[in-house]
Amino acid sequence: MVDVNSRIVGEVRVVGAGLLGASVGLGLRAKGVDVIVHDASPANLRLAIDYGAGRAARDTDNPTLIVVAVPPDVTAAVIAAELTAFPDALVTDVASVKAAPLAELLATGADVARYIGSHPLAGRERGGAISARADLFIGRPWVITPHGPARFGEVGVIEDLVLDLGAVPVTMTAEQHDSSVALVSHVPQVIASLLAARLNSAPESALSLAGQGLRDTTRIASSDPELWVQILGANSAEVVRILHAYREDLDAIVAALEAPDVAGARRAVAESLAAGNSGVSRIPGKHGQDRRFGQLVVMVDDKPGELARLLTEIGEAGVNMEDLRLEHSPGAQIGLAEISVLTEVEERLAAELEAGGWKIAGAWK
């Protein structure tokens, strides 16, 4: 089936109807692609089909592309089975680790010339088809990891999949991918979980003092342990390498804090904190080095319709918000709307809002 909207040509078979698989199905169907969805669990499969992620498999299926979206532990085995069952299909997967499944797959003797690994950097804390979204991948990086003498045209098919789903294709080796995600995803998960674990023995009075800093720092600690055991196990070498370096830095700051009045101790602590400043400034995006957006903080009364009135005025000013965050303390009569807009319109918007009677609590570029 050729569809005017999709780049992908032919049927796409999605194996695994969890969050990622069902989101791939929803996204491709929105482009008019014929999506076959399959799951080892009949209940999961029914849910995904009801949800609109695709249709059930038929004996006559002849997919051009198969997307394997199963847990990391079984990814290689499922890829091997799909390569055998569909000898004309190209197979990719969406597992969060790439080198280990490939090595496992090579050990099975499968026809790996028809396999190209990939990994969308997208997800949510909540899993399952029920949390799936057609737009889950929009604007997110999707790493493609060709191995050996991958043919150009086949990488192109995976790129078409990625582009059909609104994601941004990025090509790396499996090893580059694994060391990158160890740093930006797997190690932060470990660090956040260990920090959150410290809260178990805390008195409630201490927890009642928690603010946004603790909430943000530990948010991802609510992720699914079962999935993460598999991810960390499959990428353990890279994760351990970074955790060793982290542990050295931790030892240094602990030593300095154990003797804070010794010469050089405060400097050591200050250098750790400054290294954190420079590290965080390297993260792209609105909290990092992306300086295209400025922030305006506007005070908003805590009653129905007030925020809508503010946003209506922003819309009437012809300004598009890149991001909006409402800060609102429980019980407070006033909220603060932090609005991200292009820096070139920020001053004009602030002036128009003030003229309209809004109080600007802060403005930054």
Q: Which CB, 36 or 218, lies closer to a second copy?
A: 218
**Toward a second copy, which CB reaches closer, 107 or 273?**
273
**Extended strands (E) in 30-164:** 35-38, 65-68, 90-93, 117-120, 141-145
CB of 57 to a second copy, least distance (A): 27
In the complex, the smallest distance separating the C-beta of residue 176 from a second copy, rounded to whole angstroms, is: 7
Angle at 180 between CA 179 and CA 183, to 5 degrees: 90
Nearest distance from residue 270's CB to a second copy, in Å? 5
* Coil, strand or helix at 174: helix
CB of 87 to a second copy, least distance (A): 33
Rank residues 50 and 258 by Cβ distance to a second copy and give the closer one.
Answer: 258
Whether residue 26 contacts residue 134, with contact meaning beta carbons closer than 8 Å, is answered with yes
Residue closest to 342 by CA, chosen among 325, 360, 322, 324: 322
Q: Give the C-alpha separation, 334 to 346, whole Å.
A: 23
The position carrying tokens 């999709």 is 6
**CB of 319 vs a second copy, minimal distance in Å:** 7
- Of 270 and 351, CB closest to a second copy: 270
DSSP state of 112: G
Task: Tell which residue, 139, 136, 138, 118, has the closest CA to residue 128.
Answer: 136
Q: Is 252 exposed, middle or buried (0-12, 13-18, 19+ CB in 10 A)?
A: middle
Bridge partner list, 337: 298, 326
| Residue 56 or 199 with smaller CB distance to a second copy | 199
Task: Give 160's Cβ-side CA count (13 Å radius).
Answer: 19
Going by C-alpha positions, the residue among 289, 355, 295 that lies closest to residue 322 is 295
Burial class of residue 276 in the structure, from the number of CB atoms within 10 Å of its CB (0-12 exposed, 13-18 middle, 19+ buried): exposed
Toward a second copy, which CB reaches closer, 19 or 70? 19
Partners of residue 170 on adjacent β-strands? 143
CB of 8 to a second copy, least distance (A): 19
What is the closest distance, in whole angstroms, from the C-beta atom of residue 44 to a second copy in the complex?
18
**Rounded distance between C-alpha atoms, residue 98 and residue 144, angstroms:** 10
Which of residues 85 and 199 has its CB atom nearest to a second copy in the complex?
199
322 near 340, Cβ under 8 Å?
yes
Q: Which is nearer to a second copy, 112 or 180 (CB)?
A: 180
Q: Which amino acid is at 232?
A: L
Between 58 and 282, CB nearer to a second copy: 282
